[in-house]
Structure 1
């Protein structure tokens, strides 16, 4: 059967099932109701929090009437407006720095003969594994103005009284935020570089274009959609990140949106004002998406092959090692330096005293595991939430992908849009939407693991959905038809055909989501209760208490847990499973 005939047949079946001539009794079969239920779940997870957020921003907390007073209170003070403008300025600077880090590394690892490519790739994956707030703690230990190890070495070597570096500044905040998230740029752009056929560059060279002109006119315009997409997501991630600003922006006296939102959630609680303060972030997101589409529509660069062709590496010559030195410097800033200083602090009685035999101790790990009131419980909770959220996201995404790809419902593309929409909703806005929709009566889910699992699963649903869709496209529909001819229903098809064939693909997506969910802070910070604390929140509490040694020990345990999960992925799914699934 040809592809065209299958498409026509599938459309006829869909029309026969959902057309006006089909009785409602035939439509309301148990399996059809199940697909409708799954669709309803997706709508509830995404539309309900966002619509509740917008409605709450226009609702008076006392009377329940429509009002604009929440917006007046949210933006009626100069400090609140300054926090918004600071956030936009910080986001733009972070995007520029992420592109400066990620694009050259992606080009060097995919298009050149640079040595040490595997080392750089593992370093970039290390930047993904390292939670941003742990990287921030590492840089506080390194570049604190008075007790940071870099400045202490500077004072000792030169006798100076002024610090060499100070992380508690605007550019310190930008640097730490950027090095904690350039992995996304690397993944997007390296994947695009790998799809470029060298024949297009050869044609430009034959026509007289040099390497620089070829790169500017051919290579980089072809990856412009990937660069813009990664820039958009990097901006959204930067303005919604909570951990790094909480560690650096507050001491630097640089107000940003996420810190102001946390103040709205302190006593007295002002959810409606927080909602009003969050709505402009959604409008900014919509504006950036429109700008991205406008730029891409006007440019129109594309590859006619539709797939990767022959790729010849660019010979860097004497610049090979210079390129490697740049890549290694980026990896050292993002992973090596903060991890080493965290590890040293974890084994120190006092991190300000420097590393020595007399200062060595295992007490911090013992305290974090067995004596601290929240640490042990938080580790278990983070693992449990990661497992539950990843499982829920994968199962829901598989069913939605099946509905979309097999046209089970007539509005499948709407479901597809909803499934990927959380990717462009700032995590902190999503958390406030969940709080407004489900934390208060009548559901009253605040302080439960249920709201955490639902919010985190929704946060990373786009990753699960894109993974499931990519896998579904590789399965021929005739394999499923064979099961249905033998009397099996669609659930039997998923259980007997789709699930087994996609188990490696889905396992890769599950592991990726687990890693992200176990370290999530921006969503969790507004939804945790006294008895549902997770590791990321406990680490933030320890930093506020100044207990850096215990924080470093607990953070090291979290990293070991994440590395163990990644090692499982490398063992069973290949070393680049994260790159393929992202």
Structure 2
């Protein structure tokens, strides 16, 4: 690396330094004998306390069973949806893909709250209806259980799993299927011997990624797990920090265990991606795969689409609206409809502050993340120096950090830092920037590989420097991927609860943490009204972004949209 290229490496080194910050302080905190910011000494007693906890085995079992069960459920359902939407002539396909897209705009915390009003013992609408219909009592279904967690998280992860699995089914080489059919194989045999094996890498990738996300998700574990005493690693970490007195040292030790588990799964996920190269079927001769005719079963499959919507999306949104219009909840003796919850919602100053802070944090984190990821991806693809490779590896560390763990690490770091940003929105901006830089860099890595180096070489031959080449050549070509990555960061940061509950104070509360505080402090119905507002704000923000940035959101998930883009 020469000195002329040094400015290009400064953002990369900054990204690496930011990644090291929470990781190093998390390990330090797990080995410290006192709370953050207080004098103490190095000790192994925190890990000894975790190891001697009689509930540790149950916590680990619940975490693995819940995350793996939810991932299996999501991957299986997504595979069925992908077959129907990508490879059949079933009606209502566009409507179904649009519905999957709508579900991505619902924060998981809001979904979890909705399911408590559907499946809670005694007061859940489904339990009451089943009891009245069959006379079997009003506690048949219990959302506050490991099965409830699997059900809720599995449905929440299904759209993501669909995004991962569906391309593999839409890109199968039709010549392979034709060869099978010409050889006398039936359609069923062709599917199980050709299509399914070629889709296995994507299915495995979806399974591993969904397992990681479920393992690190705090929303369901907080809304459903804590009241049901289904203890997982994430709500155990949170429980250690809110008990009296708080025990941040033991929480950090739990967090290190969670990081080790997620890191293992991420390594397995990366290996599955590399192995998928053996299943390449797209070449210059490839056309569109065969669309299977369902005949008289077309509307049977369409009925399956409608059933999915009326099991998941419709009841979730409907119950939120219905519950929010009552000033107390007694489903057997409902009070008159009222807007009191919405009026009370506007009284809480934390709501206005939360919406404003969420907007600042999400926009700022999206811009900062896209900028750092741009330089990290470029140096990784074009400047393969030792420093660049080392910085790229270090900057990828936050991939293994759940947001609640990242919040713990930054809590230790910021309370010992001379910079007074703890308790401000900038602490949360820092957290989300660190967390999502390695993810957005993967949005850019593929397009950068496809970008011919000759374009940059011609620019330099014409006398342009590195900055001019990046600004006039590289940035415009990567702009669509940068926008996609920035929108992704905006959405996930505005929906996140894990880091928010660790790093917010009264003045820096985000919308998600403000609603969670309402929910846990006895204002459940006001929180439900806030959930409706939450969905509306996020949906409106996505719509505005789509208009300003001229992004076709439907093409993200639509088979027709992806094929149109691939054909351009």
- Provide the TM-score with structure 1 as the length reference: 0.87
Go from structure 1 to structure 2 and tell me whether the alpha carbon gap of 1:444 and 1:140 turns closer, same or farther (over 3 Å shift): same
Q: Decide which of 254, 259, 273 is 2:235's aligned counterpart.
A: 259
Residues 279-335 of structure 1 deviation map (CA, whole Å, 9 limit, x = unaligned): 222322343345557778889851243576321112223333333333333333332
Contact 2:13–2:391 (CA under 8 A) maintained in structure 1: no
Task: Encode CA deviations 1:320-355: one digit per residue, 9 max, x unaligned.
Answer: 333333333333333221111111222333343589
The 5-angstrom pairing of residues 329-368 of structure 1 reads: 329-352=307-330, 359-368=336-345
* Partner in structure 1 of residue 466 of structure 2: 490
Give the match for residue 258 of structure 2: 281
Given candidates 14, 24, 35, the residue that maps to 1:41 is 14
After TM superposition, the structure 1 = structure 2 runs for residues 536-547 of structure 1, keeping only pairs within 5 Å, are 536-547=512-523
1:22 maps to what in 2? none
Residue 528 of structure 1 corresponds to 504
How much has 1:85 moved relative to structure 2?
1.7
> How far apart in 2 are the matches of 1:70 and 1:448?
29
Partner SS state of residue 349, structure 2: coil
Question: Aligned-pair distance for 1:66?
Answer: 4.1
Native 8 Å contact 2:354 2:514 kept in 1:
yes
| Secondary structure of the corresponding residue to residue 220 of structure 2 | helix
Greater shift in the superposed pair: 298-307 or 312-321: 298-307
| The one of 260, 273, 279 aligned to 1:302 | 279
Three-state SS of the structure 1 residue aligned to 2:326 is: coil
Offset at residue 175 of structure 1 (A)? 0.5
Counterpart of 1:319 (choices 288, 297, 300) is 297
Aligned to 1:134: 110
Shift of 1:97: 0.9
Structure 2 regions of 5+ residues with no counterpart? none
Matched residues in 2 for 1:364 and 1:345: separation? 10
Which residue is equivalent to 1:28? 3
Contact 2:12 2:375 in 1 (8 A): no
**1:384 and 2:357 aligned:** no
Structure-2 separation of matches of 1:345 and 1:515:
26
Give the superposition deviation at 1:462. 3.5
Residues 1:264 and 1:212: Cα distance change in structure 2 (over 3 Å):
same
Would you say the 8 A contact 1:58–1:70 is kept in 2?
yes
Distance 1:319 1:414 in 2: 55
Shift of 1:578: 4.1
Q: Secondary structure at the match of 2:43?
A: coil
**Secondary structure of the residue that 1:343 maps to in structure 2?**
helix
Check 1:475–1:136 CA distance in 2 against 1; reply closer, same or farther (3 A cut): same
1:125-174 CA-to-partner distances (Å, cap 9, x unmatched) read 12211111101111111122122222333344455533342212221121
Cα distance between partner residues in 1 of 2:305 and 2:148: 20
- Conserved 8 A contact 2:201-2:276: no
- Alpha-carbon shift at residue 187 of structure 1 (Å): 0.6
Residue 505 of structure 1 aligns to a residue whose secondary structure is: helix
Query: 2: CA distance between counterparts of 1:73 and 1:457?
Result: 33
The alignment partner of 1:180 has SS state of helix
For 1:523 and 1:171, locate their aligned partners in 2 and report how far apart those are by CA, in whole Å: 26
The superposition leaves residues 182-239 of structure 1 with CA deviations (integer Å, 9 ceiling, x where unpaired) of 2221111012222211211222233343333332332122222222222112111112
How far apart are the structure 2 equivalents of 1:318 and 1:439? 66
Q: Look up the match of 1:4.
A: none
CA-based RMSD of the aligned residues comes to: 2.8
For 1:573 and 1:521, the matched residues in 2 are separated by 27
**CA, structure 1 residues 352+300, in 2 after alignment: closer, same or farther (shift >3 Å)?**
same
> Is the CA contact 2:73–2:154 (under 8 Å) kept in the aligned structure 1?
yes
Superposition deviation, residue 49 in structure 1: 1.7
Shift of 1:176: 0.8
Asked if the contact 1:154/1:163 (under 8 Å) is kept, the reply is no
CA gap 1:485/1:292 in 2 versus in 1, 3 angstroms: closer
Pair 112,223 (structure 1): closer, same or farther in 2 beyond 3 Å? same
| Bigger mean CA offset, 399-408 vs 230-239 | 399-408
Rounded to whole Å, the distance in 2 between the matches of 1:154 and 1:555 is 27
Matches within 5 A, 1:26-105: 27-29=2-4, 32-61=5-34, 65-105=41-81
Deviation digits for residues 372-391 of structure 1 (CA, Å, limit 9, x no counterpart): 12111101111111101111
In structure 2, C-alpha distance between the alignment counterparts of 1:439 and 1:319, rounded to whole Å: 62
**Residue 229 (1) aligns with residue 205 (2):** yes
- C-alpha distance in structure 2 between counterparts of 1:549 and 1:349, whole Å: 7
How much has 1:275 moved relative to structure 2? 2.1
Structure 1 contact 222–301 (Cα < 8 Å) conserved: no
Q: 1:151 to 1:100 in 2, by over 3 A?
A: same
Identify the match of residue 399 of structure 1 among 370, 375, 381: 375
How many residues end up aligned between the 2 structures? 552
Measured after TM superposition, the shift of residue 121 of structure 1 is 0.9
Among 154, 174, 180, the alignment partner of 1:178 is 154
- What corresponds to 1:3 in structure 2? none
